[in-house]
């Protein structure tokens, strides 16, 4: 039961399966249909979510990015331990007409902290490629492979983001490509740099200070600390 | 009625029509008059606003910049969805004397997230130009055109910010130019980089964690998560 | 009386005249005496201050830097208007022996937001110089002049920070020089970049969101916003 | 007794001796044993800790980094003074098998604010070396020496982090080396830049504003401030 609760809570922070994209119009700019048979299967919907993707709509596809926060486990005596690190979720959707995108055919790619580090340190002529295997370490390893490629445009005006999903179980091979301008890439770099400490869980480390009496002594110090923390074993 | 409320709330975060500029003196440095016939028309004034523009006063004009936060819509069951993205509002005011500026002749230009991304990634010899049409997608499209041009000064000591507003309905053509030093531009870059995640609405994603029990499980985890979020469809 | 209150509140955020330096030892590293006749004159001490300077102790002098937050004025109906912008306060103290500094001979220099912008955008071979006149716009203009010069060291390993205070009233001319390493300068750049939005007052703009119902509508939106904020005059 | 309390509180923010590493598995990726005889000696465990290290697991060793917040002392009348600055704690652990690391043989190195400044300003071909002596200024000075060396990999793909601990009392000489990729280094730079103002204690300076009536006057200002803070002595 606890596991179930944890799963729901985790999902509440970043599950996009019924996100604002699924049934919505973003600022009158774009609409989409949902060809997926799975929509609506979530009976128990958690609350407290915030949907604020940064979305880029292009002719053949759209790309939306959004931070996914880490989950924490309470450990005695009142401490928190990070349970699963956060990520930056990228959602690719093919277009099905002018400014219409098919949510049911979306493909997801969750950038880890280190992959985010790779992206934000890219120079204007650098390329990156990331590979994910959902079945890694299981008997199905290698049957579904995802790769995200980021390559500079020839004229230096931006990058191509290409997501390839090869599924040998379903015998499908999808590829969704979104051109990203330098300005849009600058938004990603700045927003991802902001998000990175939070997906590592360091946002909690710092906000913890403001809310508790932690780290505050009640009287002026009476002698200097000779002991460096580093030497306390 | 709800729409009305929403409109007021939206305005409360960034409407500058009765901002501190309208009737005020900033630190004894500059004053301004208001030649506009519309001042005072807002009967219902929302509360909770914070006025903290970064203003640059030059000989022929002044430029003030300020973040405008996004608005959110509550959706069931207790979630928030971004309704309209924020922006960085730029206000240009012509001077009408030494350190006197005419608030009534101000011109506004709201930089979108992507335009902010473009500005903060500008190198010292780069130029940018942004075009806005308030009547876009209506029958009046093209009748009022605004363009903001940012060009490096010849000696590399900063940039010219030029706002041109061409209104074919009123048959007016305004142009306000403010020279911005490298140091002032550095303030903008740093402040805009700080503001960018907030105008995207990502500030809420991260602050949400500190205030609720979200993302925290009540007991130590009992088994590792095999499932990557990315594979949950 | 209100003016008095405001003055005290302002000072509570950044007055260093009885800061931790005045009577204290920092981590057993350095001590200082106070030759000033004015210590202890503050009868009414405000509370809620936080003293957390970043201090650099060198052979002939010490330099300490600390952000000074802006002050706000409440305006009806429940809004806040920035009253005085913040700054980064730099405190220079000459040494009077090995790791002993004379707090009574300290000299202050408050970097404005734009001067902070200048400092954080300095390349490794750039110089900066800032001039302050406390009596500017009064009949005493020019009688006390302060200048802060930041110059790269010949070997590229850092910068010289030199504060010169020329007081023609007291017929004094003080000069305090502190060499700053590249690593220390990197701390300043990073910490000043963090502080800059807060000294502009933009920290309040963003924190405001988390604490109130502002910007949230109670029902799903019913139609797209055609109006860009920029067009609301 | 107060000293004891202070010590415990300090440790609660960054003592890693019973951190999540000591008895845990991180996301099913790696496990470790503890060969140390000292585990479990802490009878009084403080609460409110958050464990969120960024850990890098490599063939021969693992490296984990985590911010350690500063401690504060309350001083009258309700103010806070930083007592000990924070740091970024680096934990090195040798491997004892495939994806198994020996927590009992860990070595710690606490980067000061200035050392963090040094690391985050490193270019891709720069090196850094830091030396710590826990017994500095005591009669045992020089008997235990730690040095952390960061050197670029020959092919430019990252850095070697090497921690050497020479203990002439125990006659031991440990060396733990972890290769760090460019992407992992970018995560460190971004996360350390985020943490730096907080380990200086500046996070409190800014958060203070949101929680108290500080810096707010109750009525509109009635006259401009002629006095610059800098001139208040």
Q: Distance (Å, rounded) from C-alpha A215 to C-alpha A201? A: 19
Query: Vertex A81, ends D185 and A205: CA angle to 5°?
Result: 60
Q: What is the pLDDT of residues A174-223, one digit of tens each?
A: 999 999 999 999 999 999 999 999 999 998 766 543 333 334 433 333 22
Q: Where are the beta strands (DSSP E) in chain B?
A: 31-33, 50-51, 54-57, 61-68, 71-75, 79-84, 87-97, 100-102, 107-111, 128-132, 144-152, 158-167, 172-181, 216-217
Q: Check CB contact under 8 Å for D12 and A206.
A: no
Structure token pair of residue A76: 């005695």
B67 neighbourhood in chain C, CB within 8 Å: 202, 205-206
| Contact pairs from chain A to chain D, CB under 8 Å | 172
Question: Can you give the pLDDT at residue B140?
Answer: 80
Contact predicate C187/D114, CB 8 Å: yes
Q: Which residue has the higher pLDDT, A25 or D106?
A: D106
All structural domains of chain A, each given as residue ranges with its CATH number in brackets, are 54-208 (2.30.31.10)
CA distance A22 to chain C (A): 15
- So what's the pLDDT on residue D78? 77
Instruction: Give me the pLDDT at residue C200, please.
Output: 94
d(CA C216, CA D179): 48
pLDDT at C212: 32
Crossing angle between the packed helical segments A182-200 and B182-200, to the nearest 10 degrees: 60
pLDDT score of B102 more than 50: yes
Q: Are D86 and D200 in contact (CB under 8 A)?
A: yes
The H or E element that residue D175 is part of is: strand D172-181
For D89-94, what is the mean pLDDT? 97
Question: How far does the CA of residue B2 sit from the closest CA of chain D (Å)?
Answer: 29
Q: How close is the nearest chain B Cα to the Cα of C48, in Å? A: 22
Average pLDDT on B45-68 reads: 87
Residue D80 and residue C51: Cβ atoms within 8 Å? Answer: yes
- Contact check, Cβ <8 Å, D200/C109: no
Task: Look at residue B203 and tell me whether its pLDDT is greater than 90.
Answer: no
Question: Among all residues of chain C, which has the CA nearest to that of B42?
Answer: C233
CB pairs under 8 A between B and C: 171
Quick check: A29 pLDDT over 60? no
What does the pLDDT look like over A113-167, one tens digit per residue? 999 999 999 998 999 999 999 777 778 888 899 999 999 999 999 999 999 999 9
Q: Which of A25, A224, A226 sits opposite C25 (nearest CB)?
A: A224
Contacts of C27 in chain A (CB under 8 A): 224-225
- In this prediction, residue A13 carries a pLDDT of 44
More confident site: A31 or C219: A31
Q: Find the residue in C nearest to D233 (Cα).
A: C17
Residue C25: its chain A contacts at CB < 8 A? 224
* Region of poorest pLDDT, from A101-105, B200-204, C162-166, D223-227: D223-227
Question: pLDDT averaged over chain D?
Answer: 76
Tell if the CB–CB gap between B73 and C193 is shorter than 8 Å: no
- Bigger pLDDT: D145 vs A33: D145
Residues near D197 by Cβ (< 8 Å), separated by ≥ 6? C190, C191, C194, C195, D203
* pLDDT higher than 90, residue C220: no
Per-residue pLDDT band at B14 (split at 50, 70, 90): low
Tokens describing residue C149: 């010069």
Residue C86 scores a pLDDT above 80: yes
Residue of B nearest to C84 (CA): B27
> According to the model, what pLDDT value does residue A172 have?
94
Does the structure show a pLDDT above 70 at A28? Answer: no
CB contact under 8 A, B225 and D28: yes
Q: B1 vs B141, C99, C188, C217, C222, CA distance in Å?
A: 29, 68, 50, 11, 11
**What is residue B32's predicted lDDT score, i.e. its pLDDT?**
55
Residues of D in contact with C109 (CB under 8 A): 230
Model confidence pLDDT, tens digit, residues B128-146: 999 999 777 778 888 999 9
- How far apart CA B181 and CA B160 sit, in angstroms, is 9
pLDDT by residue (tens digit) across A43-83? 344 556 788 999 999 999 999 999 999 988 888 777 888 88
Reduced to 3 states (helix: H, G, I; strand: E, B; else coil), residue C227 is coil
pLDDT of residue A75: 83
D-chain CB neighbours of A210 within 8 Å are 203-204, 207, 211
Q: Is the pLDDT of residue B198 over 60?
A: yes
- Mean pLDDT in residue range D144-169: 95
Kindly state the percentage of chain D with pLDDT values over 90: 49
Phi, psi for residue D175 in degrees, rounded to 5: -140, 125
Give the model confidence (pLDDT) of C21-78 as tens digits: 443 444 445 665 656 544 333 334 455 678 899 999 999 999 999 999 998 888 877 7
- Choose from C20, C22, C23, C27 for mutation: most chain A CBs within 10 A: C27
Chain C CB contacts of A224 below 8 Å: 25, 27-28
Rounded Cα distance between A106 and D103, Å, is 43
Of C13, C87, C138, the CB nearest to D215: C13
- C9·D217 Cβ contact <8 A: yes
Nearest to A52 among B200, B212, B232 (CB): B200
Task: Say yes or no for a CB contact (<8 Å) between A80 and D50.
Answer: yes
Q: What is the mean pLDDT of residues D146-160?
A: 96
pLDDT of residue A217: 37
- The neighbours of chain B, by the rule of 3 or more Cβ pairs under 8 Å, are A, C, D
Model pLDDT for residues C123-164, shown as the tens digit of each residue:
989 999 999 997 777 787 888 999 999 999 999 999 999 999
Which pLDDT score is estimated for A204?
A: 74
Distance from C222 to chain B by nearest Cα, in Å? 8
Ordered DSSP codes for C146-198: EEEEEEE-TTSSEEEEEEEEEETTTTEEEEEEEEEEHHHHHHHHHHHHHHHHH
List residues bridging with B175 in a β-sheet.
B164
* Cis amide bond preceding A77, omega within 30: yes
Q: What is the pLDDT of residue B33?
A: 61
Q: For the residues B40-67, what does the mean pLDDT come to?
A: 78
Q: Is the pLDDT of residue D23 over 50?
A: no
Q: What is the mean pLDDT of residues D130-144?
A: 84
Render pLDDT for B44-55 as a digit per residue (tens, 0 to 9).
445 567 889 999
Residues of chain D contacting A205 with CB distance shorter than 8 Å: 50, 52, 66-67, 69, 195, 198
User: What residues have CB less than 8 Å from C12, skipping those under 6 apart?
Assistant: C46, C47, C48, C49, D214, D215
Give how far C77 is from chain B: nearest CA, Å: 5
Q: For residue A3, is pLDDT > 60?
A: no
Q: Is A48 left (phi over 0), alpha (psi -120 to 50) or beta?
A: left
**Which is higher by pLDDT, B117 or C99?**
B117
Q: Give the closest-approach CA distance of C174 to chain A in angstroms.
A: 33
Q: Is B1 a residue whose pLDDT tops 80?
A: no
Most C CBs within 10 Å, among D72, D77, D118, D205, to test the C interface: D205
- Chain B residue nearest residue A24, CA to CA: B81
Q: Between chains, do C27 and A225 touch, taking CB under 8 Å as contact?
A: yes
pLDDT digits (tens, 9 = 90+) for B108-132: 999 999 999 999 999 989 999 999 9
Across the interface, whether the CB atoms of C72 and D193 are under 8 A apart is answered no
Residue D220 has a pLDDT of 31
Give dist(CA A19, CA A65) in Å, integer. 12
Q: What is the rounded end-to-end Cα distance, in angstroms, of chain A?
A: 38
Q: Give D26-64 pLDDT, tens digit per residue.
A: 444 565 565 654 433 333 445 567 889 999 999 999 999
């Amino acid at each position: 039961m606890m596991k179930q609760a944890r799963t729901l809570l985790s999902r509440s922070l970043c599950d996009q399966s019924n996100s604002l994209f699924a049934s919505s119009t973003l600022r009158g700019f774009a609409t989409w249909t949902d060809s997926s048979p799975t929509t609506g299967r979530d009976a128990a919907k958690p609350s407290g979510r915030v949907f604020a993707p940064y979305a880029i709509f292009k002719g053949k596809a759209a790309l939306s990015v959004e931070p996914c926060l880490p989950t924490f486990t309470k450990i005695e005596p009142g401490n928190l331990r990070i349970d699963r690190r956060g990520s930056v979720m990228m959602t690719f959707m093919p277009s099905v007409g002018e400014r219409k995108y098919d949510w049911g055919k979306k493909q997801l790619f969750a950038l880890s902290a280190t992959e985010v580090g790779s992206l934000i340190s890219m120079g204007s002529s650098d390329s990156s490629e990331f590979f994910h295997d959902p079945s890694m370490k299981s008997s199905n390893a290698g049957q579904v492979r995802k790769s995200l490629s980021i390559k500079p445009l020839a004229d230096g005006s931006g990058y191509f983001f290409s997501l390839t999903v090869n599924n040998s179980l379903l015998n499908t091979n999808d590829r969704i490509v979104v051109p990203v301008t330098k300005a849009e890439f600058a938004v990603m770099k700045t927003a991802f740099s902001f998000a990175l400490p939070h997906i590592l869980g360091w946002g909690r480390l710092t906000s913890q200070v403001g809310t508790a009496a932690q780290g505050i002594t009640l009287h002026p110090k009476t002698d200097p600390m000779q002991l460096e923390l580093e030497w306390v074993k």
